[in-house]
Amino acid sequence: MWMWSICLKWLMVRRIRKLSRGTVFPPNARRYLFVAIGRATRWVFIRVFKSKAAANVRRFLRDLERACPLRIRTILTDNGKEFTDRLFGLRKRGATGNHEFDLLCTDLGIEHRLAPPQHPQTNGKVERFNGRSEEVLQSHHFHSGEELETTLQRDVLLYSQQLPQSALRSKTPLQAMKDWHKLKPELFKKQPDHLPGCAS
């Protein structure tokens, strides 16, 4: 019930002026969207980084753990090399638990689960939120990575505070989080406030 799904997605910052043929897009234009979403409340936490380096993945998890009012017990990720040392194909190997992400999860008291390979629907809530983010990105032109991040954070505010979810009985994720806090305060480490998980 208190599982968090995490996903990484890379995003290209679109410019207003068109690039001429053969022009290489600036390397600093690529951004990686890190998304975590709670299964029970649909509370969303995002961060945007310039790379998906292991240090950024660890920073994201630490930031999530600090920002989330709930005690995070379990995290479900895909099988990207940012999250696991599990291998597929000819060099098939199970996860060892010694990956940097696994070790950080252990230090934080979080169980790390891996989605089955080739089954993105297991992480469906994050995938749907990423689809929503993609729609926002397609409807905007950005001048910088900072502008992209501001727009995405604004969308998380809207999603968390203004958009009722049918799966939450027409409540917003923030309302659902507050209701859970009233019912089971022992699951929380702090009281949910008005800000969703986009705070720095």
Least confident of 23-27, 49-53, 124-128: 23-27
b/e string for 19-58 if b means 16 or more Cβ within 10 A?
Answer: eeeeeeeeeebebbbbbbbbbbbbbbbbbbbeebeeebbb
Q: In this predicted model, what pLDDT tens digit does every residue of 83-139 receive, in sequence order?
A: 888 766 556 777 788 889 999 999 999 998 888 877 666 666 777 777 777 787 777
Residue 135 or residue 59, greater confidence: 59
pLDDT value of residue 79: 81
131: part of which helix (H) or strand (E)? helix 124-138
The SS3 call for residue 43 is: coil
Cα separation, 33 vs 8, in Å, equals: 6
Domain segments of the chain as ranges: 3-10+29-187
**CATH number among 3.40.50.920, 3.30.420.10, 3.40.50.80, 3.30.450.20, domain 3-10+29-187:** 3.30.420.10
CA dihedral (61, 114, 172, 179) in degrees, to 10, reads -80
- Mean pLDDT of all residues in 51-60: 88
Predicted TM-score of the model (pTM): 0.80
